[in-house]
């Protein structure tokens, strides 16, 4: 495919409720969408970078800048590119995986739309629906947390993830366990808020039958995660630390984790995400699909990825209503705790023009 040009579109999406983690509080999602135009089809990609570099070094303004200045000119220079070539063409530019992932997804969407094939077909989806978990932010009080969790359990979510930080860990986990019982699939996510010195404290979580503890320590410390994993009976899962299949291979050989959260944006795209899935499956390491508060554009592709056979744990693939009053695509609605894997060409969904216009804060056309 020859790319005619790429549109960068910023949209402002208010969240239905503030989402607090150990790194900050989000009240609205500032999203960069990319639209790749080719003579045969258009494709959409969602960049998962957040407004500020608090979860990872990437942030929305930086992603837009690296795309317009380096990535898009490199992609539009060759006579043709396909999705398989995107990562190779962009490899000279270090890092910026979320920016690269959005462009690769948009190229793949255009290619699949032109071929009449779905993301699920391309990636190797083995199911037509995926079980869904929900990520629950840090709250002002335990009663508020219990109300929020009760609401999600009533909606059918099959797994609950509690965000934790020092001062908000043992007590909320104990309260949720006591209220909802031992059968609730429960896990926690620290977003790198602890140090290895706090291992004895984290070991107190071992009493609560958690599925996993996600990213307890710093993103660049695989060796300390390996040490921590030996001190906990709760399985250690990595999120921020895994930026590529190479990181996953290193983490597995060090014993730094026994479970991996796969986020396509964090690892540079759906193709690298699938390589991590394959690597983990070969090592008997479970994976699940993480989320970055995506709109329907990113969610469609995540749900397709989560349908691969190695995704044996429920993902952070919640319904649109958990995030937004109005999604930019047809909303993803939970049915019996599951989301259906889209079957239409490409992502199987696209932004609805009238809604898109309403939430757009800026657009920029970058011709080839
Ligand atoms: O650490 O998994 C995380 C959201 C934004 C940034 C990082 C994380 C998250 C979530 C929410 O936990 C997952 C979702 O529902 O999209
Ligand atoms: Mg996480």
Output the pLDDT for position 69: 98
> Which ligand is located closest to the Cα atom of residue 299?
1
- 148, 149, 154, 158: CA torsion to nearest 10: 140
List the residue whose alpha carbon is closest to atom 13 of ligand 1.
291
Is 161 noted as a catalytic residue in this protein?
no
Average pLDDT over residues 90-100: 98
Q: How remote is the CA of residue 103 from the centroid of ligand 1, in Å?
A: 21
Looking at residue 200, its pLDDT comes to: 98
Q: How far is the CA of 240 from the centre of ligand 2 (A)?
A: 7
pLDDT, tens digit (0-9, with 9 covering 90-100), for 41-84: 999 999 999 999 999 999 999 999 999 999 999 999 999 999 99
- In tens, the pLDDT along 306-317 reads 999 999 999 999
> Ligand 2 centroid vs 163 CA: distance in angstroms?
8
Q: Is the CB of 26 under 6 A from ligand 1?
A: no
> 241 CB under 6 A from ligand 1?
no
Q: Give the mean model confidence (pLDDT) for residues 119-138.
A: 98
Distance (Å) from CA 293 to ligand 1 centroid: 6
In this prediction, residue 364 has a pLDDT band, given cuts at 50, 70 and 90, of very high
pLDDT of residue 313: 98
User: Which residues make Cβ contacts (< 8 Å) with residue 319, sequence separation at least 6?
Assistant: 132, 155, 331, 332, 333, 334, 339
pLDDT in tens, 210-265: 999 999 999 999 999 999 999 999 999 999 999 999 999 999 999 999 999 999 99
Domain 5-116+352-367 has CATH 3.30.390.10: yes
**Averaged pLDDT, 353-366:** 98
Q: Whose CA is nearest to atom 12 of ligand 1?
A: 135
Active-site position among 2, 100, 161, 163? 163
Phi, psi of 10 (to 5 degrees): -95, 130
Pairing of strands 5-21, 360-367: antiparallel
Query: Does ligand 1 have an atom closer than 6 angstroms to the CB of 291?
Result: yes
Closest ligand 1 atom to residue 163 Cα is 12
Domain limits, CATH 3.20.20.120, in the chain: 121-340
| pLDDT score recorded for residue 78 | 94
pLDDT at 336: 98
Instruction: Verify whether ligand 1 is closer than 6 Å to residue 318 (CB atom).
Output: yes
Pocket test for ligand 1, best of 28, 292, 313, 324 (most atoms within 8 A of CB): 292
185 - beta bridge partners?
Answer: 159
Planar angle of CA 117, 359, 74, nearest 5 degrees: 55
Sign of CA dihedral 74, 61, 248, 304: negative
295 lines ligand 1 (CB under 6 A): no
Domain with CATH 3.30.390.10 in the chain: 5-116+352-367
Is residue 320 lining ligand 1, measured as CB closer than 6 Å?
Answer: no
In CATH terms, is domain 121-340 a member of 3.40.30.10?
no
What is the predicted pLDDT for the residue at 91? 98
Dihedral over Cα of 63, 69, 74, 80: its sign: positive
Give the per-residue pLDDT at 230: 98
Query: In a 3-state reduction of DSSP, which class is residue 58?
Result: coil
CA angle 311, 317, 319 (to 5 degrees): 145
pLDDT of 276-302, one tens digit each? 999 999 999 999 999 999 999 999 999
* CA 172 – CA 152 distance, rounded (Å): 16
H helix or E strand, kind and range, residue 88: helix 83-90
Does residue 2 have an active-site annotation? no
Is residue 55 helix, strand or coil? coil
Check if 135 has its Cβ closer than 6 Å to any atom of ligand 1. yes
Q: Summarize pLDDT for 146-202 with one digit per residue, the tens.
A: 999 999 999 999 999 999 999 999 999 999 999 999 999 999 999 999 999 999 999
Interval between CA 49 and ligand 2 midpoint (Å): 14
pLDDT score at 114: 97
Asked if 42 contacts 8 with a C-beta cutoff of 8 angstroms, the reply is no
Distance CA 241, CA 113 (A): 33
Q: How far is the CA of 237 from the centre of ligand 2 (A)?
A: 9
292 Cβ closer than 6 Å to some ligand 1 atom: yes
CA separation for the pair 359, 352 (Å, rounded):
11
Question: Measured from the CA of 293, which atom of ligand 1 is nearest?
Answer: 16
């Amino acid at each position: 495919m020859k790319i005619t040009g790429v549109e960068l579109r910023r949209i402002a999406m208010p969240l239905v409720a503030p989402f607090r983690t150990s790194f900050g509080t989000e009240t609205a999602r500032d999203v960069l969408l990319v639209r790749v135009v080719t003579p045969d089809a258009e494709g959409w990609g969602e960049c998962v970078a957040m407004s500020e570099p608090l979860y990872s070094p990437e942030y929305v303004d930086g992603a837009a800048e690296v795309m317009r200045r380096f990535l898009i000119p490199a992609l539009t220079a060759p006579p043709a590119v396909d999705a398989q070539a995107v990562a190779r063409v962009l490899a000279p530019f270090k890092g910026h995986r979320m920016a690269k992932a959005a462009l690769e997804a948009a190229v793949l969407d255009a290619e699949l739309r032109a071929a009449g094939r779905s993301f699920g077909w391309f990636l190797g989806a083995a199911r037509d629906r995926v079980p869904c978990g929900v990520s629950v932010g840090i709250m002002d009080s335990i009663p508020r947390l219990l109300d929020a969790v009760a609401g999600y359990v009533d909606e059918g979510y099959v797994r609950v993830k509690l965000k934790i930080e020092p001062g908000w860990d043992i007590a909320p986990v104990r309260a949720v366990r006591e209220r909802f019982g031992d059968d609730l699939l429960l896990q926690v996510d620290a977003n790198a808020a602890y140090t290895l010195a706090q291992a004895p404290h984290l070991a107190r979580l071992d009493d609560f039958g958690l599925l996993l503890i996600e990213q307890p320590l710093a993103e660049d410390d695989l060796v300390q995660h390996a040490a921590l994993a030996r001190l906990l009976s709760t399985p250690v899962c990595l999120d921020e630390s895994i930026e590529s299949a190479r990181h996953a291979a290193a983490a597995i050989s060090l014993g730094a984790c026994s479970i991996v959260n796969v986020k396509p944006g964090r690892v540079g795209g759906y193709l690298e995400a699938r390589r991590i899935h394959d690597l983990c499956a070969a090592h008997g390491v479970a994976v699940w699909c993480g989320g970055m508060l995506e709109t329907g554009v990113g969610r469609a592709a995540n749900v397709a990825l989560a349908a691969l056979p190695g995704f044996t744990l429920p993902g952070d693939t919640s319904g649109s209503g958990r995030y937004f009053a109005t999604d930019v695509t047809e909303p993803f609605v939970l049915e019996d705790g599951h989301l259906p894997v889209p079957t239409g060409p490409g992502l199987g969904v696209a932004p609805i023009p009238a809604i898109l216009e309403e939430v757009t804060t800026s657009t920029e056309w970058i011709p080839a």
